[in-house]
Structure 1
Amino acid sequence: MPQPDPHHPLIGRRAFGLGVAAASLTVALGPALPANATTSRRRATLSDSTAFDETTLWDNTVDPLESYHVHGLAVLPDDTILVVTEGRHEVCDAGPRDLLVRRSPDGGDTWQPTRTLVASAGGQSWGNPTFVVDRLTGGIFLFYMLSTRLPANTGCSGDKGDLFMISSADGGLTWSAPRDMSGLFSQFPYEWTLHGPGPGHGIQLDNGRLLLNCAHRREVTGNTVAERRYGVASIYSDDHGRTWRATGEVPVSADYPINEARLIQRSDGTVLINGRAAAGGNRQRIVSVSADRGLSWSPPQLDGGHRHVQRRGRQPAALHGRAGHVRSEPGAVQPPRLPRSYQPDRVDQLRRRALLPLQPRDQRGPVVLLRARPALRRQDPAPLRP
């Protein structure tokens, strides 16, 4: 294992509890390294059958930008991992932002240096990087948004957001020129001006369809929260990413202002979207279900209040199944319980490994990737030896 760099400070200790057969462990995060340095990892045993290691991908205390916030995660069929982040020049949702990527060609054992995929020029604010991977062709699509503010806007939220996309056919080594996706949502009657993909990653359905959620709203300037018409309408491709179309929207309601969300396909073929309530606050999440693979959506409901979402006697979803697919099973292992200062950003599946990027809520501090091996599955008895 590479030795820590004595010239870089240690990250403060954070406790991560993980319910694996009633076992838990307190783990200290390893030393932070600059993004172009040799990756340092620390391994810990969680139980007789599970261990994880952790990698600091970015850290504003040693890397040059003010903040590294809003992350996208993709695992390719050959176990290559791509992690993208907003490199923020200011701690501001509409301030100057680059899009940065790190790539691991070997499932997270080693990491290549940070690369800038989209650079901010003249204060441009590029954000919400979100991957979609076609596991049939190996194509990778990275969607993102250019955020702008009206002159009267004195806050840190953009009024407009235009959708763009770049793609890669060689595992993220090279990328296409940007493709302007403006106009995909012009048919909706809500006067939406901001179109934010993800964040995180889209999914591929059982019929090969690529599906990505996008959040929308009107301008912040001059509109109350209710007047912004928060909503979600996804985009999809049935031809391996050559063309993209908008799905129908989750029925727009001021009582259910669904915003940034996640998609999963369930074992019965239906698609579930689960999103946070817009405009901040600590409110219950909002859900909707599609019976036609994402083309139309049921009226929104609060998470836990819909019979299609929560079934009696079922435990929280386990971290296994195909990437982007989550199944609920009796006795499933729960995801990590984290201190209030931390929140999980993304969960993806790397065959028999679970991946979880973490960052403090205040947008500062290290971006740490937890990698569990083997995956958190009760039927995996073989221990990982340190």
Structure 2
Amino acid sequence: MVVAQAAPGHVAYFPSAVLLADGRVLVAWREGEGHVRSGGRLVMAESSDGGESWSEPRVVVDGRWDDRDPMVVQLRGGDVLLSWFQIDWGVRPYECPGVLVARSEDGGTTWGDPVVVESRMVAETDEEWHGFRAGHVVAHGQILELPDGDLLAPIYGVFPGDACHSASVVRSTDGGRTWPAAGEIVLGRKPDREYLEPVLTLLPGGQVVALLRTDDEAELVRSDDNGFTWTDPEPSGLHASSSDTLTLSDGAVLVAYGDVSGQFNPGRPTVATVVADPLGRWDQDPRYVVLDAGQDTLDQANPAVVELPGDRLLIISYDIFTREIVGEVVPREQLNTVRGTTVGRHP
């Protein structure tokens, strides 16, 4: 399916999706002139019929800087949170003004003023890190609501003086209205290892799992006390980048990600798999379905996943060649039986 096509002169990137309590699927994404170093704005569309049709796209954030990586989640009380980060490409070194969270009390129609997710990574420094100002913080994964009502915002960035990214979570105890740096806990930080794009998953037994992108094989960290303490990172078995996860109604976890193993093509096709036992390694049952633009490119993936009624899974990605946000509704049993299927759009 085609969710939307970007406005002329723009390309659609980085979708996020959530199934709202009223049955609508809400999708947010970034539109910009290019993947990096270009102005970006955040756009939304919705479907009331399980993806059969979509509303006209509407711009919800278009700030002074490049607005990137929108993530949407609905809290148990009904409010919808939108998180994203910004990059100012107009200065050198480049600056990331911060990770922001806005709230909607009407199902995503209107949004309040954003608040900042604070972090100990952020610091006043003249130090440069690979073109960026050291001491910056960005984000990728959805905010997670815990059973006690606390929220965790996954972030990553570079501490001043470090050579690599670290990943952490910041806790909010007031429903996402404030995110103090005092509530930040590091998930992964090593002097010679990149920890990027943490994605959080709440398992049925209460364990919280974070999937961390690295230089090669993604790693997992786990918490059994609502995110206050975490295990050391361990291999996941997935060569995954730019992931999204969802705990399904039967307790399994749907994982969609950009596959960088080279198994399917030299680029980064979107791969999805159901992890039947998320308490173990996440590659114990590697059966995949692939959403792929059909050309070798690393500019793919950043998928979003939704569980629809009728045991159907909606997997959304983007196609830079058609400038579209695209999706595929996959019956659950297909992920259990099909291995390495390519849904190619461009031979």
Q: What's the TM-score, normalizing by structure 1? A: 0.64
Contact 1:265-1:325 within 8 A present in 2 as well: no
Separation in structure 1 between the aligned mates of residue 200 and residue 87 of structure 2, nearest angstrom: 23
Residue among 170, 182, 193 paired with 1:235: 170
CA distance in 1, matches of 2:321, 2:167: 24
Deviation at 1:163, TM superposition (A): 1.8
- The residue aligned with 2:119 is 185
How far is 1:348 from its partner? Answer: 2.5
Equivalent in the alignment of 2:67: 126
Instruction: Return the alpha-carbon distance in structure 1 between the equivalents of residues 250 and 22 of structure 2.
Output: 14
| Structure 1 match to 2:151 | 210
Q: Where does the alignment leave 5 or more consecutive residues of structure 1 unmatched? A: 1-53, 306-316, 379-386
2:100 pairs with 1:164: yes
Change (3 A) 1:231 1:127: same
- The residue correspondences of 1:1-386 to structure 2 (distance < 5 A) are 54=1, 56-60=2-6, 63-88=7-32, 90-121=33-64, 124-134=65-75, 136-149=76-89, 151-153=91-93, 158-176=94-112, 178-181=113-116, 184-186=118-120, 193-199=135-141, 201-217=142-158, 227-245=162-180, 246-277=183-214, 283-304=216-237, 320-321=248-249, 328-329=275-276, 334-339=287-292, 341=297, 342-343=300-301, 345-351=303-309, 352-360=311-319, 365-373=323-331
Where structure 2 has 5 or more consecutive residues not aligned to the other structure, the ranges are: 126-133, 239-244, 255-273, 278-283, 337-347
Higher RCO structure (Cα 8 Å, ≥6 apart): 1
Assess, with a 3 A threshold, how the Cα gap between structure 1 residues 118 and 343 changes in structure 2: closer, same or farther: closer
Q: Percent identity?
A: 18
**Aligned equivalents of 2:334 and 2:146: distance in 1?**
23
Q: Which amino acid aligns with 1:85?
A: W
CA distance 1:318–1:357, change in 2 (3 Å) = closer
C-alpha distance in 1 between matches for 2:197 and 2:41: 20
User: Matches of 1:194 and 1:322 in 2, distance apart?
Assistant: 39
Q: Is the CA contact 2:14–2:29 (under 8 Å) kept in the aligned structure 1? A: yes
CA distance in 2, matches of 1:371, 1:75: 14
Q: Distance in 2 between matches of 1:162 and 1:93?
A: 17
User: Which of these two proteins has the greater Rg computed from alpha carbons?
Assistant: 1
More moved, 124-133 vs 186-195: 186-195
Q: Structure 1 161/376 Cα, relative in aligned 2: closer, same or farther at 3 Å?
A: farther
Per-residue CA deviations over 1:54-104 (Å, capped at 9, x if unaligned) read 2x12335xx31321111211111122111111110x214242111111122
Contact 1:215-1:232 within 8 A present in 2 as well: yes
CA pair 324-82 structure 1, distance change in 2 beyond 3 A: farther
Contact 2:38/2:89, CA 8 A, preserved across alignment: no
- Paired residues, what number? 290
State the distance in 2 between where 1:364 and 1:162 align: 31
RMSD over equivalenced CA pairs, Å:
3.5
Task: Report Cα offsets for 1:23-75 as digits up to 9, x if no partner.
Answer: xxxxxxxxxxxxxxxxxxxxxxxxxxxxxxx2x12335xx3132111121111
Deviates more, 1:291-300 or 1:367-376: 367-376
Structure with greater strand percent: 2
The separation in 1 between residues aligned to 2:122 and 2:186, in whole angstroms, is: 9
Structure 2 length normalisation: TM-score? Answer: 0.71
